[in-house]
A = this chain, B = another copy of it.
Amino acid sequence: MASSATRRRGQPRTKPGEERRRDLLDAGLAVFTRRGVAAATLDDVVREAGVAKGTFYLYFPSKEHLLLALQREFEVNLVARIDAAVAAAGDDWADRLDAWVVAVFTDFPPGRAQHDVLYHHPVDTHDTADDEPAHRDLVDSLGDVIDGGIAAGTFHVADPELTTVLLCGAMHRAFDRIWHRDEMNDTPRLVRATKDLFHAAVGLS
C-alpha cells in the first residue's frame, strides 16, 4: 500500500471530516496539476490521498464536484490576497490600481499550474447543481478599485462595468499565452505593460 501519502501504522483510520475533505482537496489539486484534469482518474486521487475509493464519495458527490470545489477555493483565496494588497496600498487610487496589478502578478506565478486547472476546464454548470452562493471573483475585485477611483473623480471611464471585464480578461489570456509558450517570462516588463494599459484605460495621464 505504498503511496506518497501512506498512512502510518497504528494511526486511527477515521479523521475529523474537515481534515479528510482537506486531504482529498489537496490530493485532487496535486493530481490534476500533475496529470492534467482530463487524464486524472479517481484512482490517482484516492491513492494520493491515502484513502479508499468509497471514501471519496462520502465527501464529494462526483469527480466534477471536486474540481468545482477546487476552483472555487482557488479563486476565493486569490481574491482575498489581492484585496488585502489593495487595502494596504493606501488611499491614492492610482496606487491602488497599481497594487492590484502587482498583487495579481506576484500571486499567480506560484499558482500557474492551478490556474490552468481552474480556468481551463469546462465545468458543466448544467447537472452540477449550484448549491453554494456565487463568490467574489477577480472581476468583482478589480471592479471595486475602478469604481472607487471613478467615485473619487480620479478615473474616467465611459463604461466601467465592461471595461473592468475587458481588463480582467486581458490579464488572463496574457498569462495563458505567455506561460504556455515559455517565452517572455519577464515579469517586470509584463507588470509595466499591464500598468500602462490599465492607466490608459481609466484615463490616467
Contact = CB atoms under 8 A, between A and B. Distances in A.
Interface of A: 36-38, 116, 120-122, 124, 139, 158-159, 162-163, 165-174, 176-178, 184, 189-190, 192-194, 196-197, 200-201, 203
A118 to B, nearest CB: 13
A189 B166 CA distance: 13
A173 B168 contact: yes
Contacts of A174: 162, 165-166, 169
**Copies of this chain, whole number:** 4
Contacts of A197: 163, 166-167, 201
A184 B165 CA distance: 12
A162 B189 contact: yes
Contacts of A167: 170, 197
A158 B38 contact: no
